[in-house]
Amino acid sequence: MTSENYEDKLAAIRKKIDEIDSQIVELLAQRRDKIRELAKVKSSLKLKIRDQKRETQVIANSEKRAVEMGLDPSFVNKIFLEIIDYGRRTEGEVRGEVKKIAYLSPRGTFTEEAALKYAAGTEAELIPMSTIASIISAVENKHVDIGIVPIENSVEGSVTITLDLLARSEAKICGEIILPVVHNLISKEKISLDKITKVYSHPQALAQCRTFLAKKLPHAHLYETLSTAEAVKIVAEEEDTNIAAIGSLAAAKLYGMTVLAEGIQDEQTNETRFAVIASEDTEPTGQDKTSIAIFLLQDRPGALCEVLEQFKERNINLTRIESRPSKRVLGDYIFFVDLEGHRKDPKVKEAIMNISKSAGEVKIMGSFPSAKKKNTPSL
């Protein structure tokens, strides 16, 4: 057979594959239309969107059929999980019951894990976004209902970009999620640590694992990425097998990677606090916190002390206080304060009002239910 004949055969096979791909898309569209019909019927019957028993049955049937057709059932499983997820979102859109939740991309980040924790038990569409600024902007412009952004880590401190943006945003903090952070060394395949030449991860993850890296991988070059999940993705896509990433078990599973070492963070009580943001904060629950930003009008002795006295006089406990440059002039600062109580509590309301009158401008970033801390890290 000549090369010309092979090229003709190749073109014919590809044409047939294109026709099959088109049929797959048409079938997906038909399935979507049936889901829309289903949504109206289930709404009339007052049934919940998610039917776990039905979903399990669909997955089992698809895997059984995959085996009969000589396909890898785990491959088909992944496809149908996505199809079912799309079906839930479609049904939610028809019924108007789905919240759009933005989180820091890509998939496999700790922020996604926080978003999944927030969305547990509800109908939600998780929307990955590339930056914290884009998440906050999406909330402000009502493109999404909820945004999940990292705000503080127990080891590395505050996420300053989040504080700076929220101090000038109309979005409000309406909740918080505290997530244990467990870092893992991840690679394509099982290799000895002395063969690893490069390690990729987010700057905070690299910093939180500095002791492990210094002892176990002193020869490896460290490379910063936008997220831990991106680091795992980079390693997964590179041909070099002597490189590794620091990331979550979820990211390792997502990209089909091998975990070389678990729990490599220096502090085993490492936790990250995520802010849940929306267009409005929440009503009092009795177990609340309030975040405020204070812009002192005058740089003079005792100005900050006067602010703190307002809280002391009313027995209001402060859970966090720190300063950030105001970005206006050198030496001008914003003070970020977290306090126990709701902005509508009489003593909190009075303290904020007095500070506004005497010391400076106060921006209420939001009042929200206080999250319960976990003592044992696990992912």
Residues assigned a catalytic role:
272, 274
Q: Please list the residues that pair with 324 across neighbouring strands.
A: 334
- Alpha-carbon span 28 to 24, nearest angstrom: 6
Cβ-based neighbour number of residue 97 at 10 Å = 15
Do 183 and 247 touch, CB atoms closer than 8 A? yes
Q: Is the dihedral of CA 135, 141, 147, 153 positive or negative?
A: positive
E-strand spans in the chain? Answer: 99-104, 124-129, 146-153, 157-158, 172-180, 184-187, 198-201, 221-224, 243-247, 258-261, 271-278, 288-296, 318-325, 333-340, 360-369
Q: Measured between alpha carbons, how far is 119 from 97 in angstroms, rounded to an integer?
A: 13
The enclosing H or E element of 74 equals helix 73-95
Q: Work out the burial of residue 91: count CB atoms within 10 Å of its CB; fewer than 13 is exposed, 13-18 middle, 19 or more buried.
A: buried
